[in-house]
């Protein structure tokens, strides 16, 4: 039952993340004004803004001008809800809060927050081929500090962050910025500070596997050319999330293939 509440909570957080992404792009402040339709400017009321359900009920169109909204909105809401639920199930497998340890609650909120950052990085890089400092740098600092509190050693996190950032810095320098963007260096820092050593390596490996599989798929389907830009931050954020939750299982599964 509690998972249902967390799912609904995740839908609302996802709805908020859509607003954050939109306003980051427009560089508006977060408090200003009502929600408005992007097309007709009509004010949107709470009945138009119920996450997921408004989209489904209105068949993805504005109630007032009938223009079609982007699939991004329900997908981000749904994905946030699913990932928030998975994190809860991972940390509280008994699906209840009884006998909880305070560290579990901290981990839950911390991982939710980090997932929110990763979702913003994912969508923003996919849409605009850009990783914003204002998103990724606060996440690095929060990850580093909270992970110290959760029992990682300072040296472990430092090593992972330096290797994560350095790995992309090296490629950036060698390729003069052609292979990857500067934003990927910062995402590398975040991966290190969030996952620690050696899970950083698992995540880098997973990101490249994911990137290779999806790129080959898109090339085969004629959707992309070899010269097209790759939103690598998108792969990095997916890999980071998967390793955060299922790092050990992924390592075991991978070795079991041989
Ligand atoms: Zn409209």
User: Which tens digit of pLDDT belongs to each residue from 123-132?
Assistant: 999 998 889 9
Residue pair 65/35 in contact by the 8 Å Cβ criterion: no
Span 55-93, pLDDT tens digits = 999 999 999 999 998 889 999 999 999 999 999 999 998
> What separation in Å is there between the alpha carbon of 27 and the centre of ligand 1?
21
20/94 same-domain check: yes
- The per-residue pLDDT of the chain, averaged, comes to 89
108/203 same-domain check: yes
> What separation in Å is there between the alpha carbon of 11 and the centre of ligand 1?
22
- Residue 151 neighbours by CB under 8 Å, 6+ apart: none
33/105 same-domain check: no
DSSP 175: T
> What separation in Å is there between the alpha carbon of 183 and the centre of ligand 1?
34
- Residue 214 neighbours by CB under 8 Å, 6+ apart: 235
Span 10-34, pLDDT tens digits = 999 999 999 899 888 887 665 556 7
**Which residue did the predictor score with more confidence, 76 or 258?**
76
> What separation in Å is there between the alpha carbon of 48 and the centre of ligand 1?
11
> What separation in Å is there between the alpha carbon of 68 and the centre of ligand 1?
9
- Give how far the C-alpha of residue 94 lies from the chain's centroid of Cα atoms, to the nearest Å: 26
Q: Which of 100, 130, 150 corresponds to the end of one domain?
A: 100
162/258 same-domain check: yes
**Which residue did the predictor score with more confidence, 220 or 16?**
16
pLDDT of residue 236: 94
Q: Is the pLDDT of residue 204 over 60?
A: yes
> What separation in Å is there between the alpha carbon of 61 and the centre of ligand 1?
8
Span 154-174, pLDDT tens digits = 999 999 999 999 999 999 999
Q: Which of 51, 81, 100 corresponds to the end of one domain?
A: 100
> What separation in Å is there between the alpha carbon of 252 and the centre of ligand 1?
50
Which of the four pLDDT bands, split at 50, 70 and 90, describes residue 182? confident
Question: Using CA atoms, how far apart are residues 234 and 127, in angstroms rounded to an integer?
Answer: 10
pLDDT of residue 228: 67
> What separation in Å is there between the alpha carbon of 38 and the centre of ligand 1?
7
pLDDT of residue 35: 80
251/148 same-domain check: yes
pLDDT of residue 29: 60
**Residue 207: closest CA among 218, 220, 191, 222:** 191
> What separation in Å is there between the alpha carbon of 41 and the centre of ligand 1?
6
73/125 same-domain check: no
> What separation in Å is there between the alpha carbon of 44 and the centre of ligand 1?
9
226/120 same-domain check: yes
Q: Which of 39, 70, 100 corresponds to the end of one domain?
A: 100
Residues in the chain: 258
155/257 same-domain check: yes
> What separation in Å is there between the alpha carbon of 54 and the centre of ligand 1?
13
131/247 same-domain check: yes
Which of the four pLDDT bands, split at 50, 70 and 90, describes residue 1? confident
> What separation in Å is there between the alpha carbon of 36 and the centre of ligand 1?
8
The position carrying tokens 């209105």 is 58
- With a pLDDT cut of 90, the percent of the chain lying above it is 58
167/215 same-domain check: yes
Residues with CB under 5 A from ligand 1 (ion): 37, 39-40, 62, 64-65
Residue pair 148/154 in contact by the 8 Å Cβ criterion: yes
Which of the four pLDDT bands, split at 50, 70 and 90, describes residue 214? confident
pLDDT of residue 233: 87
Question: Considering its fold, how many domains does the chain have in total?
Answer: 2
pLDDT, mean of residues 40-62: 89
**Residue 168: closest CA among 144, 142, 190, 147:** 190
> What separation in Å is there between the alpha carbon of 117 and the centre of ligand 1?
29
Question: Using CA atoms, how far apart are residues 31 and 49, in angstroms rounded to an integer?
Answer: 16
> What separation in Å is there between the alpha carbon of 43 and the centre of ligand 1?
9
Answering whether pTM is above 0.85, one says yes
Question: Using CA atoms, how far apart are residues 111 and 203, in angstroms rounded to an integer?
Answer: 16
19/119 same-domain check: no
> What separation in Å is there between the alpha carbon of 56 and the centre of ligand 1?
16
> What separation in Å is there between the alpha carbon of 14 and the centre of ligand 1?
21
Least confident of 40-54, 129-143, 185-199, 212-226: 212-226
**Residue 70: closest CA among 2, 26, 127, 16:** 127
Which residue range is the domain that position 240 belongs to?
Answer: 101-258
73/162 same-domain check: no
- With a pLDDT cut of 70, the percent of the chain lying above it is 95
Please provide residue 36's backbone torsions phi and psi, each rounded to the nearest 5 degrees: -130, 155
């Amino acid at each position: 039952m509690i998972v249902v509440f967390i799912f609904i909570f995740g839908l609302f957080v996802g709805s908020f993340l859509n607003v954050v992404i939109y306003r980051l792009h427009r560089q508006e402040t977060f408090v200003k004004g009502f929600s408005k339709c992007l097309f007709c400017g009509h004010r949107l009321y709470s009945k138009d803004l119920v996450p997921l359900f408004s989209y489904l009920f209105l068949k993805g169109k504005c109630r007032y001008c009938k223009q079609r909204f982007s699939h991004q909105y329900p997908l981000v809401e749904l994905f946030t809800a699913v990932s928030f639920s998975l994190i809860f199930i991972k940390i509280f497998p008994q699906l209840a809060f009884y006998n909880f340890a305070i560290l579990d609650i901290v981990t839950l909120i911390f991982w939710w927050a980090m997932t929110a950052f990763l979702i913003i990085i994912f969508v923003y890089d996919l849409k605009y081929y850009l990783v914003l400092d204002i998103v990724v740098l606060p996440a690095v600092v929060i990850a580093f500090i909270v992970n110290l509190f959760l029992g990682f050693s300072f040296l472990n996190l430092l090593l992972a962050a330096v290797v994560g950032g350095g790995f992309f810095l090296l490629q950036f320098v060698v390729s003069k910025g052609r292979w990857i963007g500067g934003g990927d260096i910062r995402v590398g820092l975040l991966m290190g500070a969030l996952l620690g050593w050696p899970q950083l390596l698992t995540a880098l490996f997973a990101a490249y596997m994911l990137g290779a599989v999806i790129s080959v798929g898109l090339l085969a389907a004629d959707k992309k050319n070899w010269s097209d830009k790759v939103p690598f931050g998108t792969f990095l954020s997916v890999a980071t999330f998967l390793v955060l939750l299922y790092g050990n299982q992924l390592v075991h599964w991978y070795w079991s293939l041989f």
